[in-house]
Amino acid sequence: MRKSALYSSASSPPRPTPGAAQAVADASPPRTGPARRLLARLTGQSTGFSGAVTVLLALLLVLSLSAALRPAPQRLTQKDINAAVLKTLATSRLPSPEARAYAAIRPSVVRVVGQTKTRRAKDGSSSAERSVGTGVVIMDKGVILTNLHVVQGTVSIKITFADGSESSAAIVNVQPENDLAVLQAATIPDDLQAATLRSTTGLRPGDQVMAVGYPFGIGPSSSAGVVSGIRRTLSASENENEHPINNLFQLDAAANPGNSGGPLVTMDGEVVGIVTAIYNPSEQHTFIGIGFAVPVENAASAAGLSPF
């Protein structure tokens, strides 16, 4: 029985002689793949309902053959994952713990400038004194912690936030025994971020910490170090607030005038203390390697926050 043609034409082509037919067959391009040849044979021979079923079965056979010939996906082993992680660590420069801590606390650190009364000299000229320190936002409604000696005796207080915006501020609470003052900013940025406070329970000498503030008004500046000691005491003659301060952390992270009131943070960027004083028996009042910070538990209680 003669097979049906795979294509048709408007006019019937002349019937080739046996020799010519063999030549045409030899010159025709070979059909690709056994599945395609099977599909062509089945579709050429099938008609009606049984033909449709045959075609469907042929298509399923083609799909099955294609799936069988497709290479199986490679399974990742723990060894492959470890190798990829090691390659990433070797080729990528990750931020240091100090850099991550600074990035976490920076949005909450503010510059605090206190303006004192204007003084008139004998020659009639006048001058206004100011104190520069640091503060840290502990509530996103604009509640700020700083040192009492930064704002004590001032007639006005100006806050500069991390985004550069400025606001006046008022003292809403003080804790002289810990040299702490709580400020409320008059206006705040829309996206103001409060710092995360962390309990000092478990903090030990040798633990890494960072002080962030405005030493000599320059900043914000960061300095890293360790907790040098715990439960230290500053006598009234050794601190600017003229009150003895107890239960202080000692630190070797550099601090200078202007750092007062700034946060002492862990490598997670969480606040564990408020930088309060430096120890220097000379008259220069610069850092010689010993600084002190009030534990955050005392600072939180000054702001009326619940203890940890």
Contact 232, 248 (CB under 8 A): yes
Q: Would residue 289 be called left, alpha or beta, if left means φ above 0 and alpha means ψ between -120 and 50 degrees? A: left
- Rounded Cα distance between 132 and 290, Å, is 21
User: So which residues are the catalytic ones?
Assistant: 149, 179, 260
What is the SS3 assignment for 124? coil
Q: Which residues of 76-112 are buried (b: 16+ CB within 10 A; e: fewer)?
A: eeeeeeeeeeeeeeeeeeeeeeeeebbebbebbbbbb
Helix or strand (DSSP H, E) at 112: strand 109-120
Instruction: Locate 140 and state its tokens.
Output: 């996103």
Look up residue 83 and give its two tokens: 């190798």
Spatial separation of the C-alpha atoms in residues 38 and 53, rounded to whole Å: 14
